[in-house]
Chain A
Amino acid sequence: MKRAIKIIVILIIFIIIFAFLNRLLKPKYATSLVEGSMISQYYDESKDHEVIFIGDCEVYANFSPMVMYEESGIKAYVRGSSQQLIWQSYYLLKETLKYEIPKVVVFNVNSMRYDKNSSAVSEAYNRLMIDNMKWSKEKIELINASMTEEESFISYVFPILRYHSRFDELTKEDFEFLFKNKTNTYNGFLINKNVKPVTNLPTKRRLATYEFDEECYDYLQKITDLCKENGIELVLIKAPSVYPYWYDEYDKQIESFAEENDLDFYNFLDVTQEIGIDYNTDTYDGGLHMNLDGATKLSKYFANILIENYDLTDYSGDELYDEKLEEYNNAIK
Chain B
Amino acid sequence: MNILLFVLSIAIYLSYGFSNFIFIIFSMLTSFIAGRFLKSKNGKFILGITIFANAILLVLSKFLPYADINFISAIGISYYTLQVISYLVDVYKGKYEPETNLFYFALYIFYIPHIFIGPIIRYADMKEQILKKKKITLDNLEDGLLRILWGLFKKLVISGRVAILVGTISSNLETYNGAFALFAMLLYSIQLYSDFSGGIDIVMGVSKIADIDLKENFDSPYLAENIKEFWRRWHISLSSWLRDYVYIPLGGRRCSKARKAFNTLVTFLVSGLWHGVNYILWGFIHGIFVLFGDKYKTKFKNLNRVINFIIVSILWSFFIWPTTGEAVQAILSIFNNFKITDFAQNILNLGLTLGDYIVLIISTLILFIFDGKKDKILNYIKSKTFERKLIYVGIFALIVMTFGIYGIGFEVDEFIYSNF
The smallest beta-carbon distance between B157 and chain A, in angstroms, is 11
Kindly identify which residue among A18, A123, A165 contacts B410, using a CB–CB cutoff of 8 Å: A165
A25→B410 CA distance, assembly (Å):
17
Q: Is A168 an interface residue (CB 8 A)?
A: yes
Is B353 located at the chain interface by the 8 A CB criterion?
Answer: yes
Asked if B391 is at the interface (CB within 8 A of a chain A CB), the reply is: yes
Set of chain B residues within 8 Å of A14, measured between Cβ atoms = 394, 398
CB distance from B4 to the nearest CB of A (A): 25
Q: Does A3 contact B (CB under 8 A)?
A: yes
Q: Which residues of A contact B410 (CB under 8 A)?
A: 165
Say yes or no: is B402 at the interface (Cβ < 8 Å to chain A).
yes
Is B249 engaged at the interface, CB distance under 8 Å to the other chain? no
Is A167 in contact with B404, judged by CB distance below 8 angstroms?
A: no
- On whether A167 and B407 interact (CB within 8 A), knowing A6-B387, A10-B390, A14-B394, the answer reads no
Question: Once the chains bind, are B387 and A164 in contact (CB under 8 Å)?
Answer: no
Q: From DSSP, what is the main secondary structure of chain B's interface residues?
A: helix
B343 within 8 A of A: no
CA distance A161 to B398 in the complex (A): 11
Residue contact B394 to A10, C-beta cutoff 8 Å: yes
CB-based A-B contact count at 8 angstroms: 49
Taking CB atoms, residues of chain A closer than 8 Å to B391 are: 10
Among B386, B403, B408, contact of A150 (Cβ-Cβ < 8 Å): B408
Please classify how large the interface on chain B is, using the bins under 10, 10 to 19, 20 to 34, 35 or more.
20 to 34
A161-B407 CB under 8 A given contacts A10-B394, A167-B355: yes
Q: In the complex, which of the residues B356, B390, B405, B407 contacts A155, with contact meaning CB atoms closer than 8 Å?
A: B407
Determine if B401 and A168 form an interchain contact, defined as CB atoms under 8 angstroms apart: no
- Residue in chain A with minimal CB distance to B393: A14
Q: Which residues of B contact A160 (CB under 8 A)?
A: 401-402
Question: Is B3 an interface residue when CB atoms closer than 8 A count as contact?
Answer: no
Chain B residues lying within 8 Å of A17, measured Cβ to Cβ, are 394, 398
Q: Give the Cβ gap from A290 to chain B, nearest Cβ, in Å.
A: 33
Q: How far is A17 from B391 in the complex, measured between Cα atoms in Å? A: 12
Interface residues in chain A, defined as those with a beta carbon under 8 Å from any beta carbon in chain B = 3, 6-7, 10-11, 14, 17-18, 21, 25, 123, 150-151, 155, 160-162, 164-165, 167-168
5 smallest CB-CB distances across A and B, nearest first, come from: A168-B355, A14-B394, A164-B402, A6-B387, A10-B390
15 CB-based A-B contacts, threshold 8 Å: A3-B387, A14-B398, A17-B398, A21-B398, A21-B402, A25-B402, A155-B407, A164-B402, A164-B403, A164-B404, A164-B407, A165-B407, A165-B410, A168-B353, A168-B356
